Amino acid sequence: MLDRKESAFGWFDVVWLLFLLGLAFLPPIEEIHKQLTLLAIGVLQISEGPLIAWQPNRGRVYSVILKILLATLLIDHTRAAEYSPTIESSYYPVYYLPIVTAAIYFGPLGSLLWTTISSLAYCYFLIPAVYIEEYELTREGAMELAIRILFMFLAGVLVNRFAIENRRRTRQYQQLSETLEETNRQLQRAEADARRSERLAALGQMSAGLAHEIRNPLSVIKGSAEILSQKVKDAHPVARELAGYIGSEVNRLNSLVARFLDFARPSHLDLKPHRVADIVERALESTRNQFPEARVAVERHYRPGVPDAAVDAPLCEQVFVNLVTNAYQAMSEEGGVLRVGIAPQSSNGRAGVEVSVEDTGPGVPAELREQIFNPFFTSKKDGVGLGLSIVAKIVDHHHGWIKLDSADSTGARFRVFLPEFTARSAAK
């Protein structure tokens, strides 16, 4: 159906009223009912847009019915004589108004139906004229009537054909517009991923060099602290305690350097077919052991028919451990619900598996959602800002994607897509 939502009074409506005004001053001028009927037709035509906008389906039907009634009323007031049939009225083209309207708003069958009803309304006055007033319908008159009715159907079919073609092209343009919008969104995501990959590469190289440079003096400091602790033994308790502090802090720095290297080190994936549900369950169990007192209820929503994914199991488990750990930490104070979903999914023509990890914590502020995957960005007091960066790197190397949904104001929902295992993925 063609949507007509224009409600403003435009210049074309003025032209329409001028044409009706011209008809009003043509014979029979003394017939006041003719002028009133033409005025009603003009008002109906101008108010048709708001009527259909208010009632899209019924408004079209009401508009056609009212035009048929007004057209019949106009013919009744413009007949040559009181008992003459409608064929003697020069205003018979007024029936093209409901016919064209129906052809624009309805399909082929609807257009034919309303054209038939309009034609029957046009022939309505023949019934009393022929059978009651004994009006004689000559052969020439019957031929004239048939010609006029056939032209009504031709006009309805022709306008309906153009209306259908217009609606088809409009749908094509809408689909093209939606496709272009989706393509534009994909390009924007690809550009964001490319910029993120460039930042990851640059920071990875820097982190690798910095980590190697830091690890060497840390080894010397740790060795010196151990020797100092052995030398002083019980003679200097304070010195021994300080040496212990040095050793523990060096171990903490070594752990941090190891994370830097994990971020910078190229991933050498051992892709094999794995059930993603098994990997997720190991990650849930591992995280549960880290937070034994956490008041977190885990809800599992695993759909059937999920294909095996082409993943490196240890690295993939690291991804989900990180996401689940973040969810536990977000709900550590008041507790909450952790919802984990696994379902078959397709992305850009590739079949695969989508895993969603959703918590009921405070969520991620809108201004930080674009930065959470950046290296060294963290909102935690004791965080380093490499957890989600490493997760994004691992997922990228699996030729998948990770996204943070931003639909809800509370809670966070991460979605991870991993491609299905195929012979081609095994060869990579």
Class of domain 189-264: mainly alpha
Question: Which segment of 23-27, 282-286, 289-293 scores lowest on mean pLDDT?
Answer: 23-27
Each residue of 366-398: pLDDT tens digit?
A: 777 777 777 666 666 665 667 787 888 888 888
* Other residues' Cβ atoms within 10 Å of the Cβ of residue 211: 21
Band the pLDDT of 407: cuts 50, 70, 90: low
Q: Write down the pLDDT at residue 323.
A: 93
What's the fold here for domain 272-427? Heat Shock Protein 90 (3.30.565)
Taking the mean position of all CA atoms in its chain, how far away is CA 26? 56
- C-alpha 425/C-alpha 352 separation (Å) is 12
pTM, to two decimals: 0.49
Are 189-264 and 272-427 equal in CATH topology? no
Each residue of 226-279: pLDDT tens digit?
A: 777 777 766 677 776 777 777 777 777 776 676 666 655 656 778 889 999 999
pLDDT above 90: residue 64? yes
Going from N- to C-terminal start, the domains of the chain cover 11-137, 189-264, 272-427
